[in-house]
Structure 1
Amino acid sequence: MAKAFIELCYACRTGDVENADRLISTGINLNDVDEFDNSPLFLASLCGHEELVKLLLERGAICDRDRYEGARCIYGALTDSIRDILLAYDISKAVDISQPFATHISNLFRDKRLGTDDISFNFGNEMTLSGHKFILKARLPLLLKEAHIQQNESNIIHIQDNIPREIFEIFLQFIYLIPVLHKIKSTDYGILLNLSDEFNTPLLYDFLHKSRHMVDPAEKSTLMADYQYRVTEFARKELRTFVSNNIIANVLEWPTSTYYDSTSILKLQTCSAYPDLLISSVNCSGVRRTYPCHLAVLIRCDYFKIMFSNPFSEKKYYSAEKRENKAEMLPLLSLPCHNFEELEILIKYVYYDNADISWEYAIDVIKLASFVLSDRLKTMAAAVITQSKEILESISIFEILSLAWEADIEKLEHFSAKHLAYNLDDYIDTQEFEDAILKSSQRIKSREETDTIELIADMRYYLLEKYGVDMDDLIILEKNNADEKFLKSIGLFDFSQDMQSINAILQRLSLRV
């Protein structure tokens, strides 16, 4: 059994939504089962993690009440609210627009406001549809080849007269991951089968063949849910291949000590990726890399979305006229990176939702994600840090705490506080610990009687957890704080000693909790 699936099952037991989201993005089959025949959805339902149940359903977990596993999830749900969510769930809408990757690809076809389309499909009588060359390159390369787009750089594909616009639109919607399987009419099957055969879309072809003569609505609905999930994962694989073969493979690299090579730049912007934007960065060794990219996917990060949707100077360089004139330079944006690995992690994330982040790069990914305003990537990288056993061998816990404050990641704040609490003897006498307490106190915007120092409050919580102390114990502790023998007899002495050590630092710094 794959390690990632085992980790997902554990996250479903503990309710770790952020880590589950990161693991799901790697392409795990959510409807698989562990060695005890438990699916992730069953584990999340059984353990009462409502937000995780919603996440799994949104990402494609199937809860078919007519099947054993679906009924088991419903009847095993810990709470009535989870049971209601599962009962109300419509399996025909599995992997719908709530999935971030599928949602964004779908919206590229639905929402034309940013004007990222660069190719049109003509049906005569001025009836057209529009799309993106890079999507076709990734998912329908035979269509581009047949239309001779690669040879003459045309922006128009003329569709045969015997193909109705409405049916070809369904075909394109399928390519753009819009859930349309339930919309296909019996009269559409013949043309769609021909299109899927001609342009090599095997999943659509298989679905049409299997569903064509199905009569039972429940059976057909289950088939739709299964294929919609498979289609989404297959599209991710296609975009993964596209990124590898057309973006990473075409990267332009040169030392910063030399000038831009205009010939190489022009060659890059007319490469097989069909880019409309160039992303550049300089690593710690002084080497610059430039990647051919697409605004259509980069706008998953608010940094790019804001830059090109507001009246900034960058927008004027992105007009259709500019993009059609190959002599004009495409927009070239530079991003701050320590290594190229984190930039490529960002590229892979926006194109196909990959969050396979090694702990060695997690901190740099968080910094880059903060810069480009991608909260989800930032959260996924933070989840890697909290799950890593090696990271504290190379990076100080105080660096992680500082990053948590800087990037506003509460999960990392708690991770740092818990580590400090559970290993207090290693840090209590260090200057870094004292500095961290002081910095935490300075984060309080206005001092009031109810103000608390976040780091101390969090550490106190984890010290309570460490020593198994509850609120009733605290009342006893307050009344018998000086009675060492009594505190030892009820197991509160170690907790009391740790809190006294922390309070001594607070007094020395003239701070109050």
Structure 2
Amino acid sequence: MEKRFNELCYACRIGDTDNVDRLASTGVNLNSVDEFDNSPLFLASLCGHEEVVKLLLKRGAVCDRDRYEGARCVYGALTDSIRDILLKYDISKAVDVNQPFVMHISSLMKNQLPATHDICLGTTLGNQERLNLHRFILSARSPSLKENFHSVWKEKHEIDITQNVSIRVTETLAKFIYLVPVLHEIDPKDFDCLTSMARDWQMSELEDFLHRVRHVVDPSDKSTMMAEYQFKFTEDARLQFKSLVDDEILKNIQDVDAETSLEASSVVERFATCSAFPDLIVVVEDSDNSKRLFPCHLAILSRCIYFKLMFTLPFSEQATYNLKREGRSAHSRVIPSVFFPSCEFEVAEIILRYLYYDSSDIPWQFAIDVLMTADLLLEDRLKSMAAVVITQSKEILENYSIFDILYVAWKTRMERLEHYAAKVVALDMKYYAKHPELKQAITLSSRRISAREETDSIEFVDDIRYYLLEKYSFEPDDIDFLSKEDDTDLLEASGITEYKEDVAVIENVLDELALQA
């Protein structure tokens, strides 16, 4: 975790928004400090990276202006716009609600299409209002509820809480389970009842918060405590969803041959009684045409645009899904299935982990395949995470040509990878001058201009030229100035000679290809 925090601090210094997003999703404490007492927010503010500052605040970084750390961020901000952002920041809203993982789980309490709930929760106090919830989420977040769903509530789909509690208190606890930022809404008169229910449902972290917060009077201290606890609650939930994937989903996968029907009795029985409470089978077919079935949940897969569209637009899959949900008996219902784009099983597992708990752990061996599959699934954020891994793994260039990476970048529209490929070529221009694919890459780049004119530029060439300037620490004006200089020693020391040699490589290739760029 310390290594990731140091990587986060570095990404904040240089303004690498994609990497900050990826690292924030690993559960790194955004409010920790490095060996020099610098928080990620302070570093981003000090270095003038406005988008990173906004992202950190959205992800739960705290800027309490009444404390030294917050004041330091404000007065150390490089620009007035960043200072204004920090001054307008409301610490009472400093929660992780803008984590994509949290936002999606919270949204599941609302009435959505398609309907994904499978439990209606109410109370015995006479109020007819009921909460539409998800068995697998309640089980993942509460050991006590999980036990009930496997025993006394096994066949039930409408449940009344027998404790003498109101639907308001029950809804508050349900919101907490679904990561809705509810701490600041809790009425003090409900503390005792909520504490009792939290104890019964074995939610010790909420019980601890309720015990502590009732003794805090100062509003600033209370807001800071809520922000700290909200971060902890989010990370606890992430670990609980990780356990759900590890212990309930991956341990119940089923490998089948091409001839096996998904409605075969063995398949139906296996998933109808699965401890993960699945309502969807994800079918993955790998390069060997082997099939693996994953017990999953539409509520989670709907986070992905590809699947959300599949079940909200009037496709045949929607009708099939609704038809097969009608049978609610645990042993008779047929669970519908959806197909992933063809990929290796490990890639599918990485993507499912991302969808269930925002995992950004992508081994370099699968980074390119994850990028390609995420592109097919319309998951831009996961694509960015995979691209970060590709650009930061030295093993990638030991196993792939930089031109292979460039072509993948074009295919998936990943600008970050396009720049990365150009930078790698620029840093070792003499080597790549002899590489047979350099000409092909430049030719293909020239063809990417939809309506080429004499003034058009070739993007790959432009990027290489940019990184050549960066390689020798030149500005464009420096080239004009040094080109007029006669002092041989100065020219040698400045690096202009080597720079011109590298540029000449590009010019020669363009001449050979009869391209003007």
Query: TM-score with structure 1 length normalisation?
Result: 0.94
CA distance in 2, matches of 1:500, 1:337: 44
Instruction: Please tell me whether residue 456 in structure 1 is matched to residue 458 in structure 2.
Output: no
Q: Which residue of 1 aligns with 2:81?
A: 81
CA distance in 1, matches of 2:327, 2:56: 40
Q: Which residue of 2 aligns with 1:297?
A: 300
Q: Which residue of 2 aligns with 1:198?
A: 200
Cα drift, residue 129 of structure 1: 1.0
Whether the 8 Å CA contact 1:19–1:384 is kept in 2: the answer is no
Cα drift, residue 114 of structure 1: 2.3
Whether the 8 Å CA contact 1:144–1:150 is kept in 2: the answer is no
Cα drift, residue 477 of structure 1: 6.6
CA distance in 1, matches of 2:262, 2:464: 52
Q: Which residue of 2 aligns with 1:367?
A: 372
Q: Which residue of 2 aligns with 1:399?
A: 404
Say if 1:220 and 1:174 are closer, same or farther in 2 by CA, change over 3 A.
same
Give the partner amino acid of 2:207. Answer: Y
Say if 1:151 and 1:222 are closer, same or farther in 2 by CA, change over 3 A.
closer
Instruction: Please tell me whether residue 322 in structure 1 is matched to residue 322 in structure 2.
Output: no
Whether the 8 Å CA contact 1:48–1:77 is kept in 2: the answer is yes
Q: How many pairs does the alignment contain? A: 512
Q: Which of the residues 479, 504, 510 maps onto 1:506? A: 510
Whether the 8 Å CA contact 1:149–1:155 is kept in 2: the answer is no
Moved more, 12-21 or 247-256: 247-256
CA distance in 1, matches of 2:438, 2:501: 17
Q: Which of the residues 270, 273, 282 maps onto 2:273? A: 270
Say if 1:111 and 1:82 are closer, same or farther in 2 by CA, change over 3 A.
farther
Cα drift, residue 54 of structure 1: 1.2
Q: Which residue of 1 aligns with 2:356?
A: 351
Q: Which residue of 1 aligns with 2:121?
A: 121
CA distance in 2, matches of 1:54, 1:236: 23
Instruction: Please tell me whether residue 11 in structure 1 is matched to residue 11 in structure 2.
Output: yes
Q: Which residue of 2 aligns with 1:214?
A: 216
SS of 1:158's equivalent? Answer: strand
Structure 2 unpaired stretches of 5+? none
Q: Which residue of 2 aligns with 1:440?
A: 445
CA distance in 2, matches of 1:39, 1:161: 45
How big is each residue's C-alpha offset from its partner over 1:137-164, in whole Å with a ceiling of 9 and x where there is no partner? Answer: 1012412433666764221111226211
Give the partner amino acid of 1:118. Answer: D
Give the partner amino acid of 1:379. Answer: S
Give the partner amino acid of 1:76. Answer: G
Say if 1:371 and 1:382 are closer, same or farther in 2 by CA, change over 3 A.
same
Give the partner amino acid of 1:502. Answer: I
Correspondence 1:100-115 to 2 at 5 A: 100-115=100-115
Cα drift, residue 323 of structure 1: 5.6
Moved more, 410-419 or 221-230: 221-230
SS of 1:167's equivalent? Answer: helix
SS of 1:70's equivalent? Answer: helix
Cα drift, residue 473 of structure 1: 2.7
Q: Which residue of 2 aligns with 1:168?
A: 170
Whether the 8 Å CA contact 2:245–2:353 is kept in 1: the answer is yes
Q: Which residue of 2 aligns with 1:495?
A: 499
CA distance in 1, matches of 2:96, 2:60: 8
Give the partner amino acid of 1:505. Answer: V
CA distance in 1, matches of 2:487, 2:46: 44
SS of 1:249's equivalent? Answer: helix
SS of 2:338's equivalent? Answer: strand
Q: Which residue of 2 aligns with 1:49?
A: 49
SS of 1:280's equivalent? Answer: strand
Cα drift, residue 67 of structure 1: 2.0
Q: Which of the residues 415, 424, 431 maps onto 1:426? A: 431
How big is each residue's C-alpha offset from its partner over 1:244-267, in whole Å with a ceiling of 9 and x where there is no partner? Answer: 111011000134466658133111
SS of 1:121's equivalent? Answer: strand
Say if 1:207 and 1:152 are closer, same or farther in 2 by CA, change over 3 A.
closer
Backbone CA RMSD of aligned residues: 2.2
Moved more, 305-314 or 24-33: 24-33
CA distance in 1, matches of 2:481, 2:439: 29
Whether the 8 Å CA contact 1:317–1:330 is kept in 2: the answer is no
Whether the 8 Å CA contact 2:139–2:149 is kept in 1: the answer is no
Cα drift, residue 6 of structure 1: 1.2
Say if 1:333 and 1:226 are closer, same or farther in 2 by CA, change over 3 A.
same
Q: Which residue of 2 aligns with 1:235?
A: 237
Q: Which residue of 1 aligns with 2:61?
A: 61
Say if 1:295 and 1:150 are closer, same or farther in 2 by CA, change over 3 A.
farther
Instruction: Please tell me whether residue 92 in structure 1 is matched to residue 92 in structure 2.
Output: yes
Whether the 8 Å CA contact 2:62–2:227 is kept in 1: the answer is yes
Say if 1:305 and 1:150 are closer, same or farther in 2 by CA, change over 3 A.
farther
Give the partner amino acid of 1:401. Answer: L
Q: Which of the residues 361, 386, 410 maps onto 2:415? A: 410
Cα drift, residue 103 of structure 1: 0.6
How big is each residue's C-alpha offset from its partner over 1:196-246, in whole Å with a ceiling of 9 and x where there is no partner? Answer: 010011111111111113221111111111111111111101111111111
CA distance in 1, matches of 2:31, 2:386: 25
Whether the 8 Å CA contact 2:109–2:178 is kept in 1: the answer is yes
CA distance in 1, matches of 2:252, 2:371: 26
Identity of aligned residues (%): 50
Whether the 8 Å CA contact 2:263–2:334 is kept in 1: the answer is no
CA distance in 2, matches of 1:223, 1:352: 24
Whether the 8 Å CA contact 2:95–2:230 is kept in 1: the answer is yes
Give the partner amino acid of 1:100. Answer: P
Give the partner amino acid of 2:450. Answer: K
Give the partner amino acid of 1:281. Answer: V
Q: Which residue of 2 aligns with 1:154?
A: 156
Q: Which residue of 1 aligns with 2:314?
A: 311
Whether the 8 Å CA contact 2:311–2:318 is kept in 1: the answer is yes
Give the partner amino acid of 2:210. Answer: L
CA distance in 1, matches of 2:71, 2:467: 38
Say if 1:26 and 1:490 are closer, same or farther in 2 by CA, change over 3 A.
closer
Say if 1:37 and 1:323 are closer, same or farther in 2 by CA, change over 3 A.
farther
Cα drift, residue 490 of structure 1: 5.4
Give the partner amino acid of 1:390. Answer: E
SS of 2:252's equivalent? Answer: coil
Q: Which residue of 1 aligns with 2:391?
A: 386
Structure 1 unpaired stretches of 5+? none
Say if 1:421 and 1:329 are closer, same or farther in 2 by CA, change over 3 A.
same
Cα drift, residue 399 of structure 1: 0.8
Say if 1:443 and 1:53 are closer, same or farther in 2 by CA, change over 3 A.
same
Moved more, 377-386 or 503-512: 503-512
